[in-house]
Chain A
Amino acid sequence: MMRRLYNFAGGVRLKEHKRESTSSPVGRTQLPQKIILPLHQHIGVPAKPIVNAGERVLKGQVVAEAGNNISAPIHASTSGTVLAIEDHPIAHPSGLPARCIIIKTDGKDEAAGGYGAPCDTSALTQEQLNAAIKQAGIVGLGGAGFPTYLKLANEAKKITTLILNGVECEPYITCDQMLMRGHSADIVRGLVIMQRALGIKRAIIAIENNKPKELELMQEAIYEAGTPDMELVQVPTVYPAGGEKQLIQTLTGKEVPSQGLPMDIGIVCHNVGTTYAIYRAIAFNEPLISRYITIAGSVAKAQVLDVLIGTPVSHLIEQCGGNRKTLSRVIMGGPMMGFALHDDEAPVVKTTNCILVNSVISDVPLPSRSNFSLPCIRCGACADACPVGLLPQQLYWYARARDFDKVQDYNLFDCIECGCCDYVCPSQIPLVQYYRYAKTAIWQQENEKTLSDISRQRHEFHKFRQEREKQERELRHKQKRQAVDGASTQDNKKAAIQAAMERVRRKREHSDVTPKNIDNLTEQQQKLIEEADARRKKKLEELKPEKITINTSGRESE
Chain B
Amino acid sequence: MLTSMLIFAAAALVFGALLGFAAIKFHVEGDPVVDKIDAILPQTQCGQCGYPGCKPYARAIASGEADINQCPPGGEQGVMALADLLGREPGPLIAEPSTGNSDEPMVALIDEETCIGCTKCIQVCPVDAIVGAARHKHTVIEAYCTGCKLCLPPVCPVENCIVMDMVRPTATLWKWPEPLQIPELMRGAGS
Q: Which residues of A come within 8 Å of B, CB atoms? A: 40, 90, 92-94, 96-98, 371-375, 400, 429-430, 433-434, 436-437, 439-441, 443-444, 447-448, 452-456, 458-459, 461-463, 465
Verify if B99 is at the interface (C-beta below 8 Å from A).
no
Q: What's the A-B contact tally at a CB cutoff of 8 Å?
A: 87
Least CB distance from A145 to B in Å reads 14
B169-186: CB near A (< 8 Å → 1, else 0) gives: 111111111111110011
- Write out the residue numbers on chain A whose beta carbons fall within 8 Å of the beta carbon of B171: 40, 90, 92, 94, 96-98
In the complex, the chain A residue whose C-beta lies closest to that of B77 is: A402
Q: Please tell me if the beta carbons of A455 and B45 are within 8 angstroms of each other in the complex.
A: yes
- Write out the residue numbers on chain B whose beta carbons fall within 8 Å of the beta carbon of A461: 128
The distance in angstroms between the C-alpha atoms of A439 and B174, with both chains bound, is 11
Partner of B176, one of A98, A373, A440: A440
Q: Provide a sorted-by-A list of 18 A–B residue pairs whose CB atoms are within 8 angstroms.
A: A92-B171, A93-B176, A371-B185, A372-B188, A373-B179, A400-B181, A433-B177, A433-B179, A437-B176, A452-B43, A453-B43, A455-B43, A456-B38, A458-B128, A458-B129, A459-B55, A461-B128, A465-B128
- Write out the residue numbers on chain B whose beta carbons fall within 8 Å of the beta carbon of A375: 182
Verify if B90 is at the interface (C-beta below 8 Å from A).
no
Which residues of chain B from 72 to 116 have any CB-CB distance to chain A below 8 Å in the complex?
none
Q: Please tell me if the beta carbons of A373 and B175 are within 8 angstroms of each other in the complex.
A: no
- Write out the residue numbers on chain A whose beta carbons fall within 8 Å of the beta carbon of B170: 96, 98
Least CB distance from A111 to B in Å reads 32
Q: Please tell me if the beta carbons of B179 and A437 are within 8 angstroms of each other in the complex.
A: yes
Q: Please tell me if the beta carbons of B43 and A456 are within 8 angstroms of each other in the complex.
A: yes
Q: Please tell me if the beta carbons of A372 and B174 are within 8 angstroms of each other in the complex.
A: no
Which residues of chain B from 47 to 86 have any CB-CB distance to chain A below 8 Å in the complex?
53-55
- Write out the residue numbers on chain A whose beta carbons fall within 8 Å of the beta carbon of B186: 372
The distance in angstroms between the C-alpha atoms of A507 and B45, with both chains bound, is 55
The distance in angstroms between the C-alpha atoms of A157 and B175, with both chains bound, is 39
Q: Please tell me if the beta carbons of A437 and B127 are within 8 angstroms of each other in the complex.
A: no
Least CB distance from B61 to A in Å reads 16
Which residues of chain B from 124 to 159 have any CB-CB distance to chain A below 8 Å in the complex?
125-129, 144, 146
Contact A459:B126 (CB < 8 A) given known A440-B174, A440-B176, A454-B144: yes
The distance in angstroms between the C-alpha atoms of A430 and B125, with both chains bound, is 45
- Write out the residue numbers on chain A whose beta carbons fall within 8 Å of the beta carbon of B125: 462
Q: Please tell me if the beta carbons of A437 and B182 are within 8 angstroms of each other in the complex.
A: no
Q: Please tell me if the beta carbons of B182 and A374 are within 8 angstroms of each other in the complex.
A: yes
Verify if B5 is at the interface (C-beta below 8 Å from A).
no
The distance in angstroms between the C-alpha atoms of A378 and B180, with both chains bound, is 19
- Write out the residue numbers on chain A whose beta carbons fall within 8 Å of the beta carbon of B189: 371-372
Contact A459:B181 (CB < 8 A) given known A96-B169, A440-B175: no
